[in-house]
Amino acid sequence: MPYCFLDYRPARDGQSPSPDCPEGIGFVLLADLPGVPWGLFETGADDAWSPQNPVREELAALIESGKRYPPALALARQEVKEVFGDHGPSHAEFARAYGAALRNHLSRQHESPYVLAPALKDQVGDLIRGEWYWVLQISGSPPTATWVSDDFHVFNNKITDFDLTVQQLKRLGYSG
């Protein structure tokens, strides 16, 4: 599947904006910035269409690696938002920052306390009971679990939404 930058089409009748690609082409948003009219996407293959702004091979390889370790993709997505704030970067600037963040999280995965845990409830669009998700940390009072969705977003849910062992809770820094 190609990775590329795609412009957003204007939203229609209360729908969220979608990438400017042909009907029937599947896509996953990997990262974008508020107020920027484009995003970084993974798109489905189609012999009749190829994206105009593909990413370089090095970034594509990092994204492929990140798919094997979803926390890296989710955290890189968050990091680029912090890096650019209100500044609208070029595709090249965005690719450099996103790639650096991905490389950093992939290289530090052996130090990370993240754990895989099964969900104990369903949450429409994000969480499926019985499926396993990366939990990044437990924090707050009442305690919340910070976790990674299938589409590489970071969410917070009640700690009771996941089946976490005492050992996993300790690893995540929870002592309560």
Question: Is 148 in contact with 154 (CB distance < 8 Å)?
Answer: yes
Name the residue ranges covered by the structural domains of the chain.
3-110, 115-171
Q: Between 152 and 176, name the one with better pLDDT.
A: 152
Asked whether residue 37 carries a pLDDT value surpassing 70, the answer given is yes
Q: What global pTM score does this model have?
A: 0.90
Instruction: Quote the pLDDT of residue 95.
Output: 97
Contacts of 123 (CB under 8 A, 6+ apart): 157, 161
Tens digits of residue pLDDT in 92-118: 999 999 999 999 999 999 999 999 999
Tens digits of residue pLDDT in 88-98: 899 999 999 99
Neighbour-count burial of 50, counting CB atoms closer than 10 A to its CB (0-12 exposed, 13-18 middle, 19+ buried): exposed
Please tell me the distance from the alpha carbon of residue 138 to that of residue 158, in angstroms, as a whole number.
9
The helix/strand/coil state of 17 is coil
Stretch 20-39: mean pLDDT, rounded?
90
Stretch 1-16: mean pLDDT, rounded?
82
Please tell me the distance from the alpha carbon of residue 45 to that of residue 26, in angstroms, as a whole number.
8
Instruction: Quote the pLDDT of residue 164.
Output: 97
Neighbour-count burial of 131, counting CB atoms closer than 10 A to its CB (0-12 exposed, 13-18 middle, 19+ buried): exposed
Question: Is 84 in contact with 33 (CB distance < 8 Å)?
Answer: yes
